[in-house]
A and B are shown apart, each in its own frame.
Chain A
Amino acid sequence: MRVAVVVFPGTNCEHDVVHAINALGGAAELVWHRERDLSDFDGVVLPGGFAHGDYLRTGAIARFSPVMTEVRRMAGDGLPVLGICNGFQVLCESALLPGALIANRDLGFICRFVDMEVTDTGTVLTRAAELGQRIRIPLNSYEGNWVDPLGTGRIALRYLDDPNGSQGGAAAVANQGGNVVGVMPHPERGVDELLGSTDGQVLFEGFLRSLVPA
């Protein structure tokens, strides 16, 4: 069961994601954004960072990277697709997730632990968790304020303290099928006691459990 971890120019959380997945028994590999064939992979993660410098809008240029054709195919096939932080922004720009991400309500770059609760266990990120379970992992973003004018997103994780103005308190959002998820805080930074939290583990366990052979 192989997981592709996509590296765009400007991505900077890819090694943390690979480490987190492999530490939980998965098999994650880095894939450059110009890759055109992900048929050997059973799931894909778009990690955090500043893909293509976040020029124009966050995720706007990354959307047209060659690998995104494959990400779109995998999403359509029902395979697990996870975007973390900047990856969440790329999935929204690609219209694989509803809505868009704008600057935080108070215009501050937020870098701290946040507390959330699981509000939907029917997604590839939250299926190993329990409804109402508390999750505490770091948030690290400037544009984490999700807006969804059509109201079609499934909120999988909700902030308990509304750090950034995100609609419905959304910290993680899924498509209607639940196989494409974007999460603004960083589960890969919460997989070891040394990091101050292990709450990210249950999220990756859900993702790994969602993998089926390609």
Chain B
Amino acid sequence: MKVTVEITRRPEIADPQGTTIQRALSDLGHNDVMAVRVDRIIHLEIAGDDVEAVRHSVEEMCRQLLANPVLEDFTVEVIE
């Protein structure tokens, strides 16, 4: 099954990359950009056909390795 994991930095944690991109966009005249955040998407292919089992498995992967609980939240989407 194809699974997409979105790792997002918590709003209260600074995102220097997002801040820099926002500044660059502003320099280009895009003064309407209120905020930029840069996050991470990880695509996985998982053996198995039980959607809930796959979801639980990938959520465990997120807690173990894919996300840093100090900085990040995650959402898991099972595509097919």
Contact = CB atoms under 8 A, between A and B. Distances in A.
A107 B16 contact: yes
A102 B71 contact: yes
A56 B65 contact: yes
Interface string B64-80: 01101011000000000
Contacts of B71: 100, 102, 147
A60 B70 CA distance: 12
Nearest to A106: B16
A149 B13 contact: yes
A106 B71 CA distance: 19
Interface string B1-37: 0000000001011101100100000000000000000
A104 B65 contact: no
Interface residues of A, number: 20
B14 A149 contact: no
Contacts of A104: 16
The DSSP consensus for interface residues of chain A is: loop
A104 B55 CA distance: 34
The DSSP consensus for interface residues of chain B is: loop
Contacts of A107: 16-17, 20
Contacts of A60: 65, 68
Given A60-B65, A92-B70, A100-B68, A147 B13 contact: yes
B47 to A, nearest CB: 22
A195 B41 CA distance: 43
Contact of A165 (B16, B17, B65): B16
A64 B65 contact: yes
A93 interface: yes
Contact of A147 (B20, B66, B70): B70
A27 interface: no
A105 B68 contact: no
Nearest to A92: B70
A211 B14 CA distance: 37
Contact of A105 (B10, B16, B65, B66): B16
Closest 3 CB pairs of A and B: A100-B70, A103-B16, A100-B71
5 contacts: A57-B68, A92-B70, A105-B16, A149-B10, A149-B13
